[in-house]
Structure 1
């Protein structure tokens, strides 16, 4: 009849390391405490560290299930002093402002197209950075407020303080005035996310910005060097160029590491067509300030990764986007006994998001070998709360994850990149169907003829089931979302062929693809 927080406690007496059903209590004398004291008087059933997408979703779901929940969130200012409100990277310095600024750039292209469709406007068209920045940040501010209200309505105790473990079940929370408070909980969820990595060269933190600073930058960045080839680098470089700025992207090795390389290179080619310059196989060695200002002037020195060549250039702004580091190093994980990958700060978890310490879980960008995407963190957080507190069993699917890179020509994908599919299944067991296409909307302005591209990777051993979906074209997010649902249902090539397309659209290309890569047939499209 012993119950733990309203759930039955099953004890396997023959194995001291066996998890206790529903709560996984194994260490630190918790079993003795529970048997001896009935139930341990912790302050909270659950404390979530991190108020981003994953942490908020998990905390609200746990509270909705009747648990006593606290969420702690604290933004350490960037070297430039930028900080923000509740909601994490996505809302404040990620997906939301990025997509709005990408939309700003698309509107610029739309105005160019409009003349070809008969719209007449003679005035010179210019873009006002301050107007855009203010509008974007006003919207973000409304989201921050909404999150606070939502937590209050769901009875989640939100504390704006920096959390670090002092014991396995106890944390210290330090607020911005330096006041310290201590809280205990039965369970913890780590959802601290990541922050941009710097280069570790002279002048990087003093003179450069990252995506953390860009979206609230109080002035137009002017001539910009983007260092990196991550999706953050390409998205930011793409929309800055779309605003009419002079943009160069410095690439160390390959574009979009981890993504399908065929698609990544096509997305890069489209960027070059639309004015983004690429400086390939170079890495910066130092950044010097020539002149302070808003923006000022900077001198960048870089070296080739292949020869003794040295590059020097002048820019108004240098944006570093060379990856992100997990925020796990300063939250006392050693005091809680949580194992961390020392190389990258990522946290290894089992398929239930459980860390090496049974009552401590982790979700979101800090997980080792998992997608660093907002909806993934949200899904994992919700499902985790339901498993912990509602007896559910459903786990997060980290394979069939649809995603989109919002480069000027957008790239959407779901499932495996071609390289990974070949590695897992072997080239001989795959059939890859592909096609170039020309969106009808692009025909009258006469741009990007046969630059858009679609590709599906099918497993011949499993009825030509689609295991990789790739799309380079307009509205990639909207197109990919639906096919993501289809892949979750196990769609095959035959089922795609038997689906009637919507004409004229870009997405219909996936219902009519006939040419395989292995046939080396012509994939250019002409007419309707």
Structure 2
């Protein structure tokens, strides 16, 4: 049995639950009103429902000045990645008492890292830096054509690169800790697990357990690489979680998978001069525009990456282990990532999870099936798995929860880039999805090959770069899909992403003066449609 007493407007109401039966009493009367199971008047039923919900969420205690008594924190964020950090710092800046719990479970190889999540430690940051390392190698090859003379043989030192990259990451880890301290966010390096809807258990690396309560929670636990589930995969293979701090050069490498992680890692390893083969089960870059994905793969082959198609491994043995004896092949698994939701006690909190993939369904305000528990980032079902999306969602969520804001994260027209050797940037719909939604007859697709000026003197990749926009004919040829394969794809795509947010049309692109000579100007001068079958090769300026 429980009883809740609150002053509502000018009336004192007492809500009492006995064996699941909700009863309502007036303070001015000792008579018990009818059961809330459909027999109360509509006004009382609504008041009771709203009051009970507010009590469950912790909002009512706060309204009456009881929040600090009821819970240890206004907000506990589980996960110290980009989204979780953004949300926690924003909430703290709004005057709330906030805790962040973050704990990295070591990989089967024993690899672990500091605060900041996947992006900073084993994702975007080291990936882009190692991609840049590979681009510098290509630039040195081009340099001779531009008149640079150097006679010594050029080699790459893996250990120097790894040390430099990890030193930078270490500085970011420290910076995040300082930033949380400066914002008065309590950071605890411990594994969090729900034991009750408003209570979690935090276990540190020494096994010590502590318990904390909060009015609200944000889940930002991210994902970790998926293994193959075959003999030897965890014993003899590595994932991207291991690669960026690998103490030795991997040498000859087999990349299993065709995800963006697989192609990015395979691409920069080949760019460092290593022998790389990518084993593909079916298609490249599932979920991306397949025309663009295949073109990106073709460019990888041109730059030395081999593809083994329609194969899957069934067993990995010691013969591929790189050890002190240095044998022949390193296997890198990059077949996707799994949400880190299975072992944090969500069942005890009542949070619904997709049993197939561990993803969490949320509404348009990132609210889970439990009203006081929210989720952001890679663990959301049907949302982008991108760091900037998690950051944006985290900030806006904190403002809605604690500052009365109403702006929600926009998951439409999100620009992104795959950092393959020839980079692929996109925003909006892949061609296949656009056809599915709008119908081929209602689309006009403009496209063009092009040859960056920087590549001409070096004599490489002539008409290998490619640009495409997908336009909705039913809406004034509004651009609903943007795709670019070429150098500096992230820098090019970012601006067009902003334009698409503003609803840019083909006519507006045509009336925009291009910056010459650049790659991005191709989007201001595309005339050939796919349906026409016209020639899209470029011969010069």
| Contact in 2 for aligned 1:19/1:26 (Cα 8 Å) | no
RMSD: 4.1
For 1:428, the equivalent position in structure 2 comes to 441
| Contact in 1 for aligned 2:58/2:67 (Cα 8 Å) | no
Query: 1:527 offset after TM fit, Å?
Result: 1.1
Q: Structure 1 residues 17 and 516, CA, compared in 2 at 3 Å: closer, same or farther?
A: farther
Question: How far apart are the structure 1 equivalents of 2:22 and 2:447?
Answer: 57
Query: 1:190 offset after TM fit, Å?
Result: 0.1
Q: Structure 1 residues 235 and 104, CA, compared in 2 at 3 Å: closer, same or farther?
A: same
Deviations 1:61-109 (A, max 9, x none): 0000110000000000000000000000000000000000000000000
Query: 1:40 offset after TM fit, Å?
Result: 5.4
For 2:123, the equivalent position in structure 1 comes to 94
For 1:8, the equivalent position in structure 2 comes to none
Question: How far apart are the structure 2 equivalents of 1:375 and 1:122?
Answer: 43
Give the alignment partner of residue 513 of structure 1, picking from 520, 526, 541.
Answer: 526
Q: Structure 1 residues 3 and 459, CA, compared in 2 at 3 Å: closer, same or farther?
A: farther
SS in 2 for 1:468: strand
SS in 2 for 1:26: helix
Q: Structure 1 residues 272 and 38, CA, compared in 2 at 3 Å: closer, same or farther?
A: closer
Question: How far apart are the structure 2 equivalents of 1:316 and 1:186?
Answer: 51
Query: 1:25 offset after TM fit, Å?
Result: 3.5
Q: Structure 1 residues 486 and 479, CA, compared in 2 at 3 Å: closer, same or farther?
A: same
| Contact in 1 for aligned 2:282/2:309 (Cα 8 Å) | yes
| Contact in 2 for aligned 1:34/1:40 (Cα 8 Å) | no
Query: 1:399 offset after TM fit, Å?
Result: 1.3
Question: How far apart are the structure 1 equivalents of 2:528 and 2:148?
Answer: 39
| Contact in 2 for aligned 1:172/1:183 (Cα 8 Å) | yes
| Contact in 2 for aligned 1:192/1:328 (Cα 8 Å) | yes
Question: How far apart are the structure 2 equivalents of 1:55 and 1:168?
Answer: 19
Question: How far apart are the structure 1 equivalents of 2:62 and 2:524?
Answer: 61
Q: Structure 1 residues 36 and 103, CA, compared in 2 at 3 Å: closer, same or farther?
A: closer
| Contact in 1 for aligned 2:427/2:482 (Cα 8 Å) | yes
Question: How far apart are the structure 1 equivalents of 2:427 and 2:389?
Answer: 13
Deviations 1:35-83 (A, max 9, x none): 8968752000000000000000000000001100000000000000000
Q: Structure 1 residues 17 and 235, CA, compared in 2 at 3 Å: closer, same or farther?
A: farther
For 1:19, the equivalent position in structure 2 comes to 39
Deviations 1:109-152 (A, max 9, x none): 00000000000001000000000000000000000000000000
TM-score (norm: length of structure 2): 0.87
Deviations 1:381-408 (A, max 9, x none): 0000011111111111111100000000
| Contact in 2 for aligned 1:16/1:26 (Cα 8 Å) | no
Query: 1:17 offset after TM fit, Å?
Result: 12
For 2:45, the equivalent position in structure 1 comes to none
Q: Structure 1 residues 308 and 143, CA, compared in 2 at 3 Å: closer, same or farther?
A: closer
| Contact in 1 for aligned 2:256/2:332 (Cα 8 Å) | yes
Question: How far apart are the structure 1 equivalents of 2:510 and 2:502?
Answer: 16
Question: How far apart are the structure 2 equivalents of 1:375 and 1:509?
Answer: 27
**Higher Cα Rg: structure 1 or 2?**
2
Deviations 1:197-256 (A, max 9, x none): 000001000010000000000000000000000000000000000000000000000000
Q: Structure 1 residues 59 and 520, CA, compared in 2 at 3 Å: closer, same or farther?
A: same
Deviations 1:367-426 (A, max 9, x none): 001110000000000000011111111111111100000000000000110011111111
SS in 2 for 1:435: strand
Query: 1:465 offset after TM fit, Å?
Result: 0.6
Question: How far apart are the structure 1 equivalents of 2:54 and 2:523?
Answer: 49
Instruction: State how 1:298-447 maps to structure 2 within 5 Å.
Output: 315-447=328-460
| Contact in 2 for aligned 1:58/1:382 (Cα 8 Å) | yes
Question: How far apart are the structure 2 equivalents of 1:376 and 1:26?
Answer: 31
Aligned length: 492
Give the alignment partner of residue 261 of structure 2, picking from 229, 232, 235.
Answer: 232
For 1:3, the equivalent position in structure 2 comes to 22
Give the alignment partner of residue 197 of structure 1, picking from 214, 226, 239.
Answer: 226
Question: How far apart are the structure 1 equivalents of 2:182 and 2:148?
Answer: 49
Q: Structure 1 residues 441 and 337, CA, compared in 2 at 3 Å: closer, same or farther?
A: same
Deviations 1:295-331 (A, max 9, x none): xxxxxxxxxxxx999xxxxx42100000000000000
Gaps of 5+ in 2: 1-19, 24-33, 41-52, 317-322
Q: Structure 1 residues 519 and 141, CA, compared in 2 at 3 Å: closer, same or farther?
A: same
Question: How far apart are the structure 1 equivalents of 2:335 and 2:432?
Answer: 22
Question: How far apart are the structure 2 equivalents of 1:460 and 1:490?
Answer: 14
Deviations 1:322-365 (A, max 9, x none): 00000000000000000000000000000000000000000000
Q: Structure 1 residues 148 and 16, CA, compared in 2 at 3 Å: closer, same or farther?
A: farther
Q: Structure 1 residues 224 and 453, CA, compared in 2 at 3 Å: closer, same or farther?
A: same
SS in 1 for 2:221: coil
Question: How far apart are the structure 2 equivalents of 1:516 and 1:18?
Answer: 62
TM-score (norm: length of structure 1): 0.89
| Contact in 1 for aligned 2:22/2:36 (Cα 8 Å) | no
| Contact in 2 for aligned 1:26/1:358 (Cα 8 Å) | no
Gaps of 5+ in 1: 5-13, 288-306, 310-314
| Contact in 1 for aligned 2:360/2:368 (Cα 8 Å) | yes
Q: Structure 1 residues 113 and 332, CA, compared in 2 at 3 Å: closer, same or farther?
A: same
| Contact in 2 for aligned 1:197/1:323 (Cα 8 Å) | yes
| Contact in 2 for aligned 1:230/1:256 (Cα 8 Å) | yes
| Contact in 2 for aligned 1:25/1:358 (Cα 8 Å) | no
For 1:109, the equivalent position in structure 2 comes to 138
Question: How far apart are the structure 2 equivalents of 1:521 and 1:37?
Answer: 71
Question: How far apart are the structure 2 equivalents of 1:16 and 1:322?
Answer: 52
Question: How far apart are the structure 2 equivalents of 1:400 and 1:18?
Answer: 45
Question: How far apart are the structure 2 equivalents of 1:16 and 1:465?
Answer: 53
SS in 2 for 1:90: helix
